[in-house]
Amino acid sequence: MPDMTSTLRILEPHHGVFAYYDGRIEGRRLHGAEPNWLDDGAYGLGVASYAVFNAGEAIVYDTHISLAHAQAIRRHLEGLGARTIRVVLSHWHNDHVAGNAVFADCEIIALKLTAHLLHANRDQLATRVPPISPLVMPNRLFETRLDLEVGSRRVELHHFDIHSADGTILWLPDEKILLAGDTLEDTVTYVSEAENTEKHIRELARLATWPINRILPNHGDPDRIAAGGYEAWLIDANRCYLEQLMQAVKQGRAASLKDFIAEDLATGAVSYFEPYEAVHRKNIAALSAL
């Protein structure tokens, strides 16, 4: 069994905002050779969890892909002098809640809908490979919006129905920095609820009205995240991709991902990462199945 965190990179895209990035290591797998959600989804595509730290307080935004990763995050924050740690869950999917047990003694904040979906999918999470068991549930719930403070830093949590019905973004209003979870993704968004794609498009349009300086997604290019994150163009790129995808499926045509997003690649709104060709094919299949 390899050291689960030997390729974990701790980045600081903004002062006191840390990205715990792992994956996108060619030829390396963490769990094993057989198909599994950790290697074939999160680690293969690259995944980050985040933390906001100020004045001895920290908020962890998602608990990463394993207990070992969560332990590394906690060690890092406690090494910085964090006396209190709270967790915010961006949504209920495996690669965002796998490390919850490491923070079982902390406040774990989530949408009421996230708590409902975690409970409804508890058996699925416990039987997938690798399993998430025990699953530690959130213990503070909210609806729509919750305002918090981390030291002197203002933090807002907002509900957006993008990618998953229970999407929660973390907004730093003074710096205008958006921690996006899976509501935004580079190279392209993953269609996990095909039947709600039209709603996701409307919600992306709503998000685009915000005065965003930089975006930090959970799945993206580590170099761009390290350099401060993405510009607001990423929102329109994700929205346009979904709109074009729906149109292409209706017309019964398909193209390779690189051809599909050529315009956004040319502007630099997104960057090309070949494993997203498989995501693109799955997205086409999901929408075609409707």
Query: CA-CA distance, 22 to 220, in Å (whole number)?
Result: 11
Q: Which residues pair with 49 in a beta bridge?
A: 20
Q: Domain 9-188+213-231: state its class.
A: alpha beta
CB contact at 8 A, 245 and 275: no
The tokens for 130 are: 């690798």
Query: CA-CA distance, 107 to 168, in Å (whole number)?
Result: 16
Helix axis angle, 233-250 to 276-288, nearest 10°: 50
**pLDDT, one tens digit for every residue, the chain (290 residues):** 458 999 999 999 999 999 999 999 999 999 999 999 999 989 999 999 999 999 999 999 999 999 999 999 999 999 999 999 999 999 999 999 999 999 999 999 999 999 999 999 999 999 999 999 999 999 999 999 999 999 999 999 999 999 999 999 999 999 999 999 999 999 999 999 999 999 999 999 999 999 999 999 999 999 999 999 999 999 999 999 999 999 999 998 878 899 889 999 999 999 999 999 999 999 999 999 98
Domain ranges of the chain: 9-188+213-231
Query: CA-CA distance, 104 to 63, in Å (whole number)?
Result: 11
The tokens for 19 are: 């990205």
